[in-house]
Amino acid sequence: MDKKLIIDQSEWSVADEDALAVSGAVEDAMVNRTTVQLRLYDKERRPVTVYLNGAAAAFVVFDPHGEPRPSQMS
């Protein structure tokens, strides 16, 4: 099952095998206000590289379940 990463208004998927590394990189970027490179997937499941600027991002949500909530449309 894939995980979900939301950066401001953009939603990405994180492969299970990358979840720990991505979570750690996101935390580092947000805490230290640095830029990190993340290996993610877009909605069509194409691999992409996203650069997260921890000093500029308003918020980041890492959802380890990756499933829509009852109030969300999938």
Q: pTM, whole model, 2 decimals?
A: 0.81
Q: And the tokens for 54? A: 């921890």
Q: What is the pLDDT along the chain (74 residues), one digit of tens a residue?
A: 589 999 999 999 999 999 999 999 999 999 999 999 999 999 999 999 999 999 999 999 998 876 665 555 54
Residue keyed to tokens 């953009």:
10
Count of CB atoms situated within 10 Å of the CB of 63? 15
3-state SS class at 62: strand
Q: Name the pairing type of β-strands 47-53 and 35-41.
A: antiparallel
Q: Which residues pair with 10 in a beta bridge?
A: 7
